[in-house]
Amino acid sequence: MIKRVAFVAGGSGLVGMQVLHQLFKDPEYTFVISFGRRELAIKHEKLLQVVVDFEKLHLTNLIEKIRHRNMGGNYHPLIEWLEEKSAEIHGFCTLGTTIKKAGSKETFYQIDHDYVVDFAQWAYHQGASKFLYVSSIGANPQSGIFYSRVKGETEDDLKLIAFHYLAIFQPSVLLGNRRESRLGEEVGSLVMRGVTALGLLKKYKPIYDHQVAKAMLTYAKRSSVKMIETVSNRDMHEL
């Protein structure tokens, strides 16, 4: 029996929701633990939802939280695996927002950098051996574009954590059914679809949420070598 557990942060988002659904269908993952500020309106026999304050994540006692939810004993194996550190834990992080939604650059940085890095460090201390993070095409800590610079700084800081395997995914404009409208991304999607239809700038071709999620699971399961890997938009399209 494979003792494989998935930690997911950002499950309410476009890619995060697809990651959850694909993890539910994947027989190699026995338990899926979703971390968020509130519970999601979904149910599944594999799913355990843990409500956390990302600003105080380091204070979270995961095993105690699971014990409180273990009324029927369904999570007893999970508690045992975590206590014995006998499970293979994969962290999936799709946390992210926009400056408009965040309300300020400071809050955007907190969510897209601090929460991501803090979750990665916390997951590592819980025993996670692999970590998979959705960044963005053009991420660069030296970029003059604030969004790209934050993504680049986040990538660099994740590389300092001693995961056995770290995969950074850099998708272009994301396609899918969002709960909220993002006009800039919708316009960008239309423009990039037109450009790529002409055979230009193929590396910027818009990509669907489920394609990114599929890539994350594929890379998580197939890589056993200790390494840091950046997965481009083109790589994800070619899967």
Among the listed residues 3, 46, 65, 147, the single catalytic one is: 147
Catalytic-residue membership of 226 = no
User: In a 3-state reduction of DSSP, which class is residue 142?
Assistant: coil
Catalytic-residue membership of 85 = no
223, burial (CB in 10 Å: exposed 0-12, middle 13-18, buried 19+): middle
**Cβ neighbours of residue 106 closer than 8 Å, sequence gap 6 or more:** none
99, burial (CB in 10 Å: exposed 0-12, middle 13-18, buried 19+): middle
The span from the CA of 110 to the CA of 116, in Å, is: 9
Among the listed residues 109, 151, 204, 205, the single catalytic one is: 151
User: Which residues does the annotation mark as catalytic?
Assistant: 147, 151
